[in-house]
């Protein structure tokens, strides 16, 4: 060990191999890990061994801060945010940790002195894809911001053995492969078997009266599953705060198999064990839609019960009395996936800790708050009563009791309004009976929020209208945000450097500072530097595309990118209609002077969502024809980037000129890709939907390519009887585009292949593509025009970035803190003396 000291972020650190940050120390520490952790030497080590050695080196430096943080929280009994989410789409950890630790450059140098390329080692990491899209990635951004702001927080979720599937493209179709992300081990997690808990499932309840005359309930489960926590440190940006992401793995409970083993039914016991372990086996790959499967409800109660029991354990360890639960924890429900927490917290307080109903209910409501993330009716979770009662008999009783008391309250506020009662009830009794999870979340929480202004307004007017009338004070808006650390500092180092050179580096934690870039928007020298960075990131994406797809794209063409889950409401096929329109124009007039364009798509379709899969096939089929047509002369290219994930997203955002945010108004709750593109200097073509509206307000209407109907206009048009066929009949270019698809031109003569899509558009068009088509085409023309004037384009891009300060997840989290959680930051001192902990 070396004993010299260095100063890092204003603190003196001793330079030992486990925590030191000098290049020499880092090299030694890396080699130690290679030899003594991986058990390899350079002659036989694989690229993965090198990655692991580096990851463990970084992990030591994280743990140093993690321990200090945990010790401070324990000592100060800090009020803590518990963020409950079925998904955390974390993305690769190594690069982000280097950025947050502030040792990226030192490590880069250490690696290169040892003959390694840091970029290659970063590439080696298999990302934890424990989420589908927006909701899971938002949870990850929020963890980063909570740590950066110095707030005590724990993310609670599920450690899926298989995360979101890997996407392959075969013959233009999506093919799913299992995501074996744990195959080579996960250096970022620490298993904590000593904090395992048990979760009861199935069986029945028995009611009795105890010696004191109090009614009690005994739940006799059919099975018990054990939850084992795995902890990942979440370090804030340039702080000593390292919070925890605690993910639960399911294992058979030993107490449960005991009988079967003893009675000689060895195989039966092993089978039960396997069944239990299925609980955390795989992430449901649906975005914005609920599947209603028993295993999914089991996952929900599993992670919620584990997490609540963990909070009870923490209370006990810190000797905090249970009646102070709501003072110790603020629990945020990330959509309704953890909404069973309302009933589970009541059950734990009443059945297991003998609290009376009213006190338990007060604690539950004061502790919980609920974020809604979608307006799509198919995403609203409801569980058939039989399924629910079979799996969670005690919770169903509690829900009935909550409902009974709640509906009495409704009757007092709105007498003689039985329609309202049936609309508000936690139980849907209009046909087959269901438990309505959003209703449970609304009743059991003290705060309910949407994720963008329009979304919150529509929630109040429409989906949750009766609740907004019942509890107006509970509702507020919290517009989403994204972390500028991962989505600029890590993903776009040249742009980060350029900005920092002009305005200093405070903007990475005070994103509003970007405003100081405004004066440079007109500066030709600055514009030039800006353009060359954009050109270089595009060239690098072009190289990736060539390697992946074998398609060569021109970095000087305009890169328009639509990267998000594939969904009809997100309207990737509207983008395709524009591509076909341009293509048709070129075929009719091969010398037409157009702005050369590269159309890029990325995103996964839910495996059971036929139309979305057909949309992927359409994109690829159109690409195949357009990319090869010599008459196009490379002026149009269409590329589908397979397996869009966080790692790929980090390549994609910096390389975009144009960000496609073209959902039907009133359908996209917020969107966060829109923010990441804009922060990286893309201009947006978009509808007045979700956070687009607020982005446009911030950057200025003149710096945003707006098109399409408003949410109100969509609503009115639907009410009047929308007839998409009229648009088809009266718009020759639209008709030609759709006819081209139907003619088999893009499908080797097969006239049936895309019929489900085109018929849906011409005869139903639930997402109003045809109504918005002409407006979209005209907006695209304005885009092409402006791109011809590179200086004007760049000026606008700089202004966009300069005005994006609002969309930092730090701002979102501050809003949650001020208005919902009421938690304050805690300062963490870094100690180098381990003996201090004793």
User: Using CB under 6 A, which of 231, 335, 657, 810 touches ligand OAK?
Assistant: 335
By Cβ distance, which residue is nearest to ligand OAK?
134
What is the closest distance, in whole angstroms, from the C-beta atom of residue 135 to ligand OAK in the complex?
3
> Does residue 668 bind ligand OAK (CB under 6 A)?
yes
> Does residue 694 bind ligand OAK (CB under 6 A)?
no
> Quick check: helix, strand or coil at residue 72?
helix
Q: Closest Cα to residue 27, out of 117, 123, 108, 121?
A: 108
> Does residue 373 bind ligand OAK (CB under 6 A)?
yes
| Binding range to ligand OAK, per CB under 6 A, among 10-18, 464-472, 670-678, 830-838 | 670-678
| Binding range to ligand OAK, per CB under 6 A, among 118-126, 202-210, 318-326, 669-677 | 669-677
> Quick check: helix, strand or coil at residue 671?
coil
Q: Please list the residues that pair with 456 across neighbouring strands.
A: none
The DSSP letter of residue 479 is -
Residue placing its CB nearer to ligand OAK in the complex, 373 or 740: 373
The set of catalytic residues is 373, 564-565, 570, 672, 676
How many CB atoms are located within 10 Å of the residue 263 CB? 10
| Binding range to ligand OAK, per CB under 6 A, among 360-368, 536-544, 611-619, 663-671 | 663-671
For 51, the token pair is 């990655």
What is the closest distance, in whole angstroms, from the C-beta atom of residue 469 to ligand OAK in the complex?
23
Residue placing its CB nearer to ligand OAK in the complex, 62 or 342: 342
User: Using CB under 6 A, which of 287, 310, 428, 810 touches ligand OAK?
Assistant: 287
User: Using CB under 6 A, which of 480, 537, 760, 808 touches ligand OAK?
Assistant: 480
Measured between alpha carbons, how far is 442 from 448 in angstroms, rounded to an integer? Answer: 7
CA 619 to chain centre: 25
What is the closest distance, in whole angstroms, from the C-beta atom of residue 613 to ligand OAK in the complex?
18
Residue placing its CB nearer to ligand OAK in the complex, 361 or 768: 768
Residue placing its CB nearer to ligand OAK in the complex, 509 or 670: 670
> Does residue 671 bind ligand OAK (CB under 6 A)?
yes
How many CB atoms are located within 10 Å of the residue 540 CB? 14
Q: Closest Cα to residue 93, out of 51, 134, 64?
A: 51
- Residue 683, exposed/middle/buried by CB under 10 A (0-12, 13-18, 19+)? buried
What is the closest distance, in whole angstroms, from the C-beta atom of residue 189 to ligand OAK in the complex?
24
Q: Closest Cα to residue 464, out of 689, 333, 474?
A: 474
Q: Between 591 and 630, how does the x/- string for binding to ligand OAK read (CB under 6 A)?
A: ----------------------------------------
| Binding range to ligand OAK, per CB under 6 A, among 13-21, 28-36, 371-379, 709-717 | 371-379
Answer whether 40's CB lies under 8 Å from 34's CB: yes
Measured between alpha carbons, how far is 75 from 686 in angstroms, rounded to an integer? Answer: 50
Measured between alpha carbons, how far is 618 from 747 in angstroms, rounded to an integer? Answer: 9
Helices 23-36 and 47-76, axial angle in degrees (round to 10)? 110
| Binding range to ligand OAK, per CB under 6 A, among 292-300, 456-464, 664-672, 742-750 | 664-672
> Quick check: helix, strand or coil at residue 134?
helix
379-418 binders of ligand OAK (CB under 6 A): 379
User: Using CB under 6 A, which of 365, 672, 687, 758 touches ligand OAK?
Assistant: 672
What is the closest distance, in whole angstroms, from the C-beta atom of residue 369 to ligand OAK in the complex?
15
152-171 binders of ligand OAK (CB under 6 A): none
| Binding range to ligand OAK, per CB under 6 A, among 117-125, 348-356, 588-596, 666-674 | 666-674
What is the closest distance, in whole angstroms, from the C-beta atom of residue 41 to ligand OAK in the complex?
46
Residue placing its CB nearer to ligand OAK in the complex, 131 or 393: 131
Residue placing its CB nearer to ligand OAK in the complex, 161 or 287: 287
Number of residues that bind ligand OAK (CB under 6 A): 18
Measured between alpha carbons, how far is 285 from 178 in angstroms, rounded to an integer? Answer: 11
Residue placing its CB nearer to ligand OAK in the complex, 204 or 293: 293
> Does residue 449 bind ligand OAK (CB under 6 A)?
no
Answer whether 746's CB lies under 8 Å from 740's CB: yes
Q: Closest Cα to residue 142, out of 338, 134, 677?
A: 134
> Does residue 374 bind ligand OAK (CB under 6 A)?
yes
Q: Closest Cα to residue 65, out of 305, 233, 294?
A: 233
| Binding range to ligand OAK, per CB under 6 A, among 270-278, 528-536, 665-673, 789-797 | 665-673
DSSP-derived secondary structure for 324-362: GHHHHEEEEEETTTTTTHHHHHHHIIIIIT---HHHHHH
Measured between alpha carbons, how far is 689 from 454 in angstroms, rounded to an integer? Answer: 7
N-term to C-term CA, the chain: 22
Residue placing its CB nearer to ligand OAK in the complex, 579 or 662: 662
> Does residue 566 bind ligand OAK (CB under 6 A)?
no
User: Using CB under 6 A, which of 690, 708, 724, 805 touches ligand OAK?
Assistant: 690
115-144 binders of ligand OAK (CB under 6 A): 133-135, 138
Strand 204-209 to 215-220 pairing? antiparallel
> Does residue 243 bind ligand OAK (CB under 6 A)?
no
What is the closest distance, in whole angstroms, from the C-beta atom of residue 344 to ligand OAK in the complex?
20
Measured between alpha carbons, how far is 140 from 359 in angstroms, rounded to an integer? Answer: 33
- Residue 749, exposed/middle/buried by CB under 10 A (0-12, 13-18, 19+)? exposed
Answer whether 129's CB lies under 8 Å from 252's CB: no
Residues that bind ligand OAK (CB under 6 A): 133-135, 138, 287-288, 335, 373-374, 379, 451, 480, 668-672, 690
């Amino acid at each position: 060990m070396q004993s010299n000291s260095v100063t890092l972020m204003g603190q003196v650190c001793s330079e030992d191999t486990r925590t030191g940050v000098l290049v020499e120390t880092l090299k030694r520490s890396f080699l130690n890990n290679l030899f003594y952790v991986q058990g390899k030497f350079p002659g036989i080590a694989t690229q993965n061994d090198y990655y692991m050695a580096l990851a463990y080196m970084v992990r030591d430096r994280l743990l140093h801060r993690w321990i200090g943080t945990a010790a401070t929280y324990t000592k100060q009994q800090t009020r803590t945010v518990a963020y409950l989410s079925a998904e955390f789409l974390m993305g690769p950890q190594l690069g982000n940790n280097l950025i947050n630790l502030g040792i990226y450059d030192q490590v880069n140098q250490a690696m290169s002195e040892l003959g390694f390329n840091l970029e290659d080692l970063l590439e080696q990491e298999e990302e934890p894809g424990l989420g589908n899209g927006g909701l899971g990635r938002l949870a990850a951004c929020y963890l980063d911001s909570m740590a950066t702001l110095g707030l005590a927080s724990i993310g609670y979720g599920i450690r899926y053995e298989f995360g979101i599937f890997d996407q392959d493209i075969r013959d233009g179709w999506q093919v799913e492969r299992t995501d074996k992300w744990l195959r080579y081990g996960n250096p970022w997690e620490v298993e904590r078997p000593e904090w395992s808990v048990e979760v009861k499932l199935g069986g029945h309840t028995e009611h009795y009266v105890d010696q004191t005359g109090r009614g009690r309930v005994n739940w006799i489960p059919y099975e018990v599953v054990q939850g084992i926590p795995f902890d990942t440190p979440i370090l804030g940006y340039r702080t000593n705060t390292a919070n925890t992401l605690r993910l639960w793995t399911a294992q058979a409970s030993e107490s449960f198999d005991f009988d079967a083993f003893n009675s000689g039914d060895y195989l039966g016991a092993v089978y039960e064990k396997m069944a239990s372990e299925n609980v955390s086996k795989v992430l449901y790959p649906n975005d914005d839609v609920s599947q209603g499967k028993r295993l999914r409800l089991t996952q929900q109660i599993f992670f919620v019960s584990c997490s609540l029991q963990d909070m009870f354990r923490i209370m006990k360890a810190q000797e905090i009395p249970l009646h102070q639960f709501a003072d110790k924890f603020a629990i945020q429900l990330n959509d309704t996936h953890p909404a069973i927490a309302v009933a589970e917290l009541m059950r734990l307080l009443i059945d297991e800790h003998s609290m009376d109903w009213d006190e338990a209910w007060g604690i539950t409501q004061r502790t919980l708050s609920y974020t809604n993330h979608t307006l799509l009716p198919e995403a609203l979770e409801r569980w058939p009563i039989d399924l629910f009662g079979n799996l969670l008999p005690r919770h169903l009783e509690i829900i009935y009791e909550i409902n009974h008391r709640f509906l009495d309250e409704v009757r007092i506020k709105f007498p003689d309004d039985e329609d309202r009662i049936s609309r508000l009830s936690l139980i849907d009794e209009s046909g087959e009976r269901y438990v309505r999870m959003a209703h449970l979340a609304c009743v059991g929480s003290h705060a309910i929020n949407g994720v963008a202004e329009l979304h919150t307004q529509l929630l109040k007017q429409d989906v949750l209208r009766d609740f907004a009338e019942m509890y107006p004070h509970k509702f507020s808006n919290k517009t989403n945000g994204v972390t500028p650390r991962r989505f600029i500092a890590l993903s776009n180092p040249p742009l980060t450097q350029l900005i920092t050179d002009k305005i200093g580096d405070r903007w990475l934690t005070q994103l509003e500072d970007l405003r100081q870039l405004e004066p440079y928007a007109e500066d030709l020298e600055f514009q030039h530097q800006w353009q060359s960075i954009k050109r270089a990131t595009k060239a690098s994406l072009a190289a990736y595309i060539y390697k992946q797809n074998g398609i060569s794209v021109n970095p000087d063409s305009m890169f328009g990118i639509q990267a998000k889950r594939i969904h009809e409401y997100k309207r990737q096929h509207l983008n395709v209609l524009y591509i076909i329109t341009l293509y048709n124009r070129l075929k009719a007039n091969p010398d037409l002077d157009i702005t050369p364009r590269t159309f890029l798509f990325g995103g996964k379709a839910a495996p059971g969502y036929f139309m979305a899969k057909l949309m992927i096939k359409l994109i690829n089929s159109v690409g195949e024809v357009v990319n090869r047509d010599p008459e196009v002369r490379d002026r149009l290219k269409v590329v589908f980037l397979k397996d869009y994930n966080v790692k790929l997203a980090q390549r994609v955002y910096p390389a975009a000129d144009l960000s496609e945010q073209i959902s039907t108004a009133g359908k996209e709750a917020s969107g966060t890709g829109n923010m990441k593109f804009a922060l990286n200097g893309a201009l947006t073509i978009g509808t007045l939907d979700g956070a687009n509206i607020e982005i446009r307000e911030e950057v200025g209407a003149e710096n945003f390519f707006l098109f399409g109907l408003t949410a109100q206009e969509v609503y009115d048009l639907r009410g009047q009887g929308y007839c998409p066929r009229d648009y088809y009949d009266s718009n020759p270019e639209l008709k030609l585009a759709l006819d081209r698809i139907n003619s088999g031109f893009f499908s080797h003569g097969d006239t049936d292949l895309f019929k489900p899509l085109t018929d849906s558009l011409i005869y139903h068009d639930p997402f109003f593509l045809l109504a918005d088509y002409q407006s979209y085409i005209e907006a695209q023309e304005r885009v092409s025009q402006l791109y011809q004037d590179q200086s004007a384009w760049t000026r606008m891009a700089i202004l966009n970035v300069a005005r994006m300060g609002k969309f930092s997840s730090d701002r979102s989290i501050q809003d949650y803190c001020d208005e919902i959680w009421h938690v304050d930051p805690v300062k963490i001192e870094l100690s180098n003396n381990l003996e201090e902990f004793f």
